[in-house]
Every structure is written in structure tokens, then in C-alpha cells.
Amino acid sequence: YSQTQQGQYHYDKDRGYVCTLSAMIIKSTTAHIFHLGDTRIYRLRDNTLEQLTKDHRLWVSQDKSYLSRAMGINAHLEIDYESLPVAKGDTFLMTTDGIYDYINSRFMINAIQRHDNDLDTAAKNIAEEAYQQGSDDNLTVQIIRVDELPCQNADEIHQQLTELPFPPLLEARMVFDGYTIIRQLYVSSRSHVYLAVDIESDIQVVIKIPSIDLRGDAAYLERFLMEEWIARRINSAHVLKPCTITRQRNYLYVVTEYIEGQTLTQWMTDNPKPEIETVREIVEQIARGLRAFHRLEMLHQDLRPENIMIDSKGTVKIIDFGSTKVAGLDEITTPIDRANLLGTAQYTAPEYLLGESGTPRSDLFSLGIITYQMLTGKLPYGAEVAKSTTIAAQKKLKYISLYDDECEIPLWIDETLKKAVCPNPSKRYEELSEFIFDLRNPNKEFLNKARPPLIDRNPVVFWKSVSFVLLIIVAILSV
């Protein structure tokens, strides 16, 4: 437009510099299309060629047309914009009118399919055919094929909230979206979980659908969808794996691998007095899973025995990512509130109860609580952590030592756990690896510590003893 205004055609509205534009940016799993003029962008999917852009042409007769919109016609530029999801295997064609005015869609499809491994040759064949058919216009064609896709980003996950309908409640023997439902595994106020078989692969999977009661809660729905996105980011033998869905998903649900085993809660019930080495092996595997989160700047935030599975071969896996915090998502503008902490109070790090943001040391606190519980069947602060919502209350929290006269657990392990579950995060271990190392190797700092007094080791026994002594004194004095 500027060139025309400065040139010899400044006062001639029928002459000047004009150009069309069709541009496509593929980011993550979304194609962003910008268009004005009569160039075209097509998408080839499932043997069907679909035109994605609209021709900005004004037809003045059956044979003659003019550009109604293009760069250079007016001072104001109005560009069509569209975003659409991209699937693996999608092929996009970008052509000028010198191509599509002279050859049909079937020829373009056949050319691409004939030269599937050499798209440059396919493009040349399409241009040559248009020339042979008499085209004397611009002969430009570009072909782009999507061979692989990354995980969807958070914005794309958020967009899906309004795109997929909710599934019905599932029942045994029901066929649902390519799966046969075997039985219900678990139901809670947050989700319904089913064991199913993929009809195509005959592989057992777990299907998780949103809670009936929370389907109107946008924040809950975002967390539900984020679980699958989080699982796809992590590659660890100790974190639940999502299943790859090759067909179109018609409802809102999540599909993951089926772990044949038991929760850590059940394991603790079955093993009330485990060997220290057995506990170490389980804790080390949990720590590997947590490190996979932390390396990607994510915090699990809801580590508890119910969210840890042990399979039939002894492999430990972390499941349920509904409370996971992902660095960077808080900066993304969405109408969804991410502030609510969903972790279970007795395993939740005290800093969360003060409204502070978590760190990897917060997950370490939860792991320390679980380790203590595996060894003793109890909690190091009883039920007091959940009540400690002020700094003053947290300073009063008193660690219950697991070291006593009947305990076979060394004092240095007790001190290791005490440091891991310290209410003050700055006094905990800085890294998970330090905690794991001290569970196996006596820390010199702890070896020199004196045996804790009875009131710390077993306050109940201490006060019973004091009461008994006082009773004897009273009895003697009353004689």
C-alpha cells in the first residue's frame, strides 16, 4: 500500500502493488493460520483434501473476478485468523491460484500419495501438471507433513475443556469409545476409575472419568486434564504412564496403564513390622519418581500412601497428579483458579498451611512422613500438623522419636527422619538424594548425638511413669 501511494499509481485505484498472503505457524499441537487474498491452504487427512482458507474474490461475471482483500488495496489490513488442532500424519498444502485453478483436488491427493517419501517431487509434479493444463500464472505449491507431535501445552489442554462432552457412568461389559469395561476399580468424590480392555490391542488399561458432582467446576476439570499432560511429560519407571490413544477421543476421560498390585496403604496393613532394608528399597523408588517431577520443575504436592502403587514385581510407582504444580502455569492467563491446595493434610508440608508456595523440600516432607509411618505405623506429629496453621503453632510441633528401648531402628535413622520432616523447610534436607543417602549411611553429625530423653522418645510412658511415682509418694505420705 505504501509503495502504491508513493508511486505513479497513487491516484489510480485500478492499478498498484497488491499481494496475497497465506501463512501457517505450527506451535506444539496447534496450527495457527493467517490469510488474506486468494492463495489457499488445504489439509489432507484420511484421504480427504479440505480447504481451510476462504478466497477473498469478488466475481463480476462467470469468468472474471477481482481480489476483494489483499495487502496493498487499503490502508487498513483485515486478516483472517483460525487455529485448529494438528494430528500426526496431517499434510498441509499451500498453493497459488495458478495451481488450484487448473488441476483438481484428486490429482493433488494422488501426487502426494505416489511420492509419500519425497514431497518435493510431489510438489514439482503438481506444478508441472498445472503448467501443462495451460496455467500462465504464479505456480507455487508447498507441502508440509506432520510426522511427530510434542505433548500438548497447557493452553491446548485448557481449550479442550469445552470441546469434549462428559462420558456417562460406565458399567461392566459396556463398550465405550473403543474399550470394553471390565469392572469398577475405585470411586470417590473426585473421579470414577475403571479397568478396561482396549479392543484394538487387547491390552488392559485404566479409564478415569470426571466426578459427576464436579463437572461444573472449571478448576477441577483443568486439573483432571492436566493429569494426562503431566504424565506424558515424565519418563520414569516409577511414575504412572499414560496410554497412547491412536483413535479420536469422543469424551472427556484419561487412559493410563493398569498396575497389577496394591497401594502402599494396603502394603503397610499387610506388613506392620517391615525390615528396614525393605522400607529403604521402597523409599528409594519413590524418590526416583519424585526426582522425575522435580527435574521438570513440577511438584507432586499430594504424596501419600494411597497415591503410591507397588506392582507384582515390587516396582513402586507414583500415581494421581491432580494436585501437581507445574512451574510457569501460574503465569498463564486463564479464568481458572489454581490456588487451592488439594493435598491430604496429614502428609502436607506445614508451609502450605501458611499459604506459602512449595518447593522440592515440600515433597521431601511428605516422603519423610511416609517413611516414618512405614517403620512405625504412626505419624511423627500425630494429627497436629493439620491444625498448625500459624508459625507459632508450627514452632510448637514436637517430633515423636521412634527410638525407644524396644526399637531396633538405629538412632541415626531416627535423626535422619527428624530432619526430613522438620516443620521449618530451611532445616530439612536440601535434596532428596541427601535424605536417601542418610537412610543407608550413618551421618557423622547424628552419630555424636546423645540418646533422646524418655519424654521425647515416648511421652506416654514418661507421663505414666511420673504418675506412678507420684501415686507411690502420695501413698507413703498418707500412711
Question: 3-class secondary structure for 18-73?
Answer: CECEEEEEEECCEEEEEEECCCEEEEEECCEEEECCCCCEEECCCCCEEECCCECC
Predicted pLDDT at 76: 79
Predicted pLDDT at 12: 67
Predicted pLDDT at 478: 74
pLDDT digits (tens, 9 = 90+) for 66-85: 888 888 877 778 899 999 98
Predicted pLDDT at 339: 44
Question: Is the predicted pLDDT of residue 11 greater than 60, yes or no?
Answer: yes
Indicate the pTM of the whole model.
Answer: 0.64
Spell out the domains of the chain, with CATH numbers in brackets.
2-145 (3.60.40.10), 154-257 (3.30.200.20), 261-448 (1.10.510.10)
- Mean local confidence (pLDDT), 142-159: 78
Predicted pLDDT at 467: 83
Output DSSP code: residue 169: P
Min mean pLDDT across 277-286, 416-425, 458-467 is at 458-467
CA atoms of 162 and 351, how far apart (whole Å): 35
- Mean local confidence (pLDDT), 218-229: 82
Min mean pLDDT across 158-167, 241-250, 431-440 is at 158-167
pLDDT > 70 in the chain, percent: 87
CA atoms of 169 and 362, how far apart (whole Å): 36
pLDDT digits (tens, 9 = 90+) for 189-217: 788 999 999 999 999 999 999 988 888 88
348 vs 467 pLDDT, higher one = 348
DSSP β-ladder status, 48-51 and 80-85:
unpaired
Question: Is the predicted pLDDT of residue 417 greater than 70, yes or no?
Answer: yes
Question: Is the predicted pLDDT of residue 338 greater than 80, yes or no?
Answer: no
Q: What is the mean pLDDT of the chain?
A: 87
Predicted pLDDT at 331: 44
- Mean local confidence (pLDDT), 371-376: 95
